[in-house]
């Protein structure tokens, strides 16, 4: 990963297992993330789900860490920070919940985001993960994402100002998300209508008479 570039970082639990067992795990995950990654990246947005997570980051323009403990010919300091973060969190979860084995899939995924339109779409995609997965009706209802933090322009650790700059202003940020929210609501209403029609049609079917063939 290169300095001043944007990346979508994501991964899921091994075999699609849980990586968050209870609410306190989400806060602990973010706490660990900040310990290991704040030095190297600006975090624009995130979403933590029961079995997977998403971050959008911008790599900071910092001097490389060449201390003895960070010398690794196979990993950059940033890659090592991610690795150490995942190992640290996994060890804590394994100990607390008496589990063994890998918590995450072998290697986290990363995809460079190269243009502003793609940036907007990936921010919205990350925030709508809980909606698409059925955890909430809209992004604002979900507790374990950055959506509400950005709305109140909290820069205590998220790069909220950078996100708002990408959209132009906070109203454009909200409008861009509201467009998809309206579409999601319409899709949900259409699905419910279709489900009701299917159920109604099913209920209107004639009941087959019992025969020897039916009862065998």
Q: Which residue has the higher pLDDT, 180 or 136?
A: 136
Of 24-33, 36-45, 56-65, 150-159, which range is least confident? 56-65
Q: What is the pLDDT of residue 156?
A: 86
What percentage of the chain has pLDDT greater than the value 70?
Answer: 78
Choose among 155, 102, 158, 96: nearest CA to 127. Answer: 158
Determine the angle formed by the axes of helices 77-96 and 23-37, rounding to 10 degrees.
Answer: 150
Q: Which CATH number fits domain 6-203: 2.70.160.11, 3.30.450.20, 3.30.70.1290, 3.40.228.10?
A: 3.30.70.1290
Torsion of CA 27, 97, 80, 11, to 10 degrees: -70
Which residue in 131, 124, 129, 130 sits closest to 150, CA to CA?
124
Q: In whole numbers, what is the pLDDT of the chain averaged over residues?
A: 84
Residue 4 CA, chain-centre distance (Å), reads 22
- What does the block give as tokens for 106? 């072998």
Greater confidence (155 vs 127) lies with 127
Instruction: Find the angle CA(30)-CA(31)-CA(36) to the nearest 5 degrees.
Output: 95
Rg (CA), the chain: 22
Q: How far apart are CA 34 and CA 41, in angstroms?
A: 9
Q: Which one-letter DSSP state was computed for residue 144?
A: S
User: Which range among 25-29, 57-61, 100-104, 137-141 shows the weakest confidence by mean pLDDT?
Assistant: 137-141
């Amino acid at each position: 990963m290169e300095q001043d570039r944007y990346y979508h970082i994501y991964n899921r639990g091994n075999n699609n297992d849980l990586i968050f067992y209870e609410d306190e795990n989400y806060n602990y995950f973010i706490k660990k993330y900040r310990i290991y990654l704040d030095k190297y990246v600006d975090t624009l947005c995130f979403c933590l789900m029961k079995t997977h997570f998403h971050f959008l980051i911008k790599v900071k323009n910092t001097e490389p860490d060449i201390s003895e403990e960070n010398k690794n010919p196979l990993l950059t300091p940033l890659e090592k920070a991610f690795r150490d973060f995942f190992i640290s969190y996994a060890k804590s979860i394994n100990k607390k919940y008496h589990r063994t084995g890998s918590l995450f899939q072998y290697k986290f995924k990363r995809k460079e985001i190269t243009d502003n339109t793609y940036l907007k779409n990936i921010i919205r995609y990350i925030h709508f993960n809980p909606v698409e997965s059925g955890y909430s009706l809209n992004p604002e209802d979900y507790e374990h994402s950055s959506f509400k933090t950005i709305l109140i322009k909290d820069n205590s650790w998220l790069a909220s100002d950078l996100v708002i700059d990408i959209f132009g202003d906070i109203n454009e940020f909200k409008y861009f998300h509201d467009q998809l929210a309206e579409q999601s609501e319409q899709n949900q209403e259409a699905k419910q209508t279709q489900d009701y029609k299917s159920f109604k049609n099913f209920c209107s079917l004639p009941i087959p008479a019992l025969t020897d063939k039916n009862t065998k």
